[in-house]
Copies of this chain bind each other. A is one copy, B any other.
């Protein structure tokens, strides 16, 4: 008897769209936390998000078909939170807290739809922007990036035969498992999946999450992906992102407000959340400037997430600052999340072991490491550095400096103004690979 399922075969040949983002929960948890704050405190602020491909050598508009991209974005706009998803958001415990989302916020969320997008092409790249209320445009960041990255993977794999794909995924799985085996030698390590935006594909991210669950068990703290957290009973993880200080800075009416902006958003955050959610993201305009001017209460927060300095240097500076403020770093938490891979994770962990609590948010190199996996030499699946950043808030350009000038975003003149204002102390120029 032949084993081919004829109906399945016909369906596979006939389908119109294989949607990449199939749920509004297929996003990073911190987007929901930030969304509640934006909805509550900044309901009338407009913010534009823009796609930025830092890997200029990859011409995305040549690799990705425009109609396919539109079809995927359009499909994402048809999504609403389902009843099951709403019930889970209301009933689940996040970071040890029940009802982290207010009933009024959830009532508003029930009707949420991703807003319109603007798509055009220039010089082989896509100009993809989302304009409108911050409380809507912010939600495009993760699905837009996931769609771009998965469409690029699909395009790269289009020419591969069945056997080549078989080898490709076998090697990617073997590679992933060899990382798991390395991590298993450090059972005290705490790792979480931060790889939604850069993932090779949704199914691949799910496989990687399963691999961590199977392989390192209790060392795997959870995932930033809310859908995967729900479906696999993992912790949903994440706190806040650069968009908060970036928008606050863009909205500043004068230099005093600009200087205050990075701390003001932390105070906003503290009003809504507390405990383990009190994680400082210090590098929006440079970590050194942030620490120099930080009020004492910042040292009371649970921890920091250095996101652009080299992890050991960045971590040492924060530890030194805690000590200066009379705090014991062993009671504090450092969350590393910038361009990590197994070796940097283990190296950083070994360096700080016993001196500070640590957690590692593993992104691109967890969910999109196909380097050297194709059966023949092939670079089309190497990850690229693509982001979706707030580019404009309240009608004014938004800027991010970070500790690595290569990661700065914003209009050049405005970037210069910020550099002059915040200074460039301890900036380290490093190539941005992922």
Contact = CB atoms under 8 A, between A and B. Distances in A.
Given A171-B173, A177-B375, 4 more contacts: A3-B8, A163-B214, A169-B170, A170-B177
A167 B173 contact: yes
6 contacts: A166-B173, A167-B173, A167-B174, A170-B177, A171-B177, A177-B375
Contacts of A167: 173-174, 177, 211
The 10 closest A-B pairs by CB, nearest first: A170-B173, A174-B174, A170-B170, A171-B174, A163-B214, A167-B177, A170-B174, A5-B5, A163-B210, A177-B375
Grouping DSSP codes into helix (H, G, I), strand (E, B) and loop, the A interface class, with mixed when no group exceeds half, is: helix
Interface string A20-56: 0000000000000000000000000000000000000
A215 interface: yes
Nearest to A163: B214
A177 B169 CA distance: 12
Interface residues of A, number: 21
Contacts of A169: 170
Interface in A150-182: 163-164, 166-167, 169-175, 177, 180
Counted per complex, copies of this chain come to 2
Nearest to A164: B214
A172 B166 CA distance: 12
Interface string A169-201: 111111101001000000000000000000000
A164 B99 CA distance: 37
A230 B111 CA distance: 61
Nearest to A213: B163
Interface in A124-170: 163-164, 166-167, 169-170
Contacts of A173: 166-167, 170-171, 174
Contacts of A3: 8
Contacts of A175: 174
A250 to B, nearest CB: 45
Contacts of A174: 167, 170-171, 173-175
Given A5-B8, A8-B5, A214 B375 contact: yes
A368 to B, nearest CB: 17
Given A173-B166, A174-B171, A215 B375 contact: yes
A215 to B, nearest CB: 7
Nearest to A377: B181
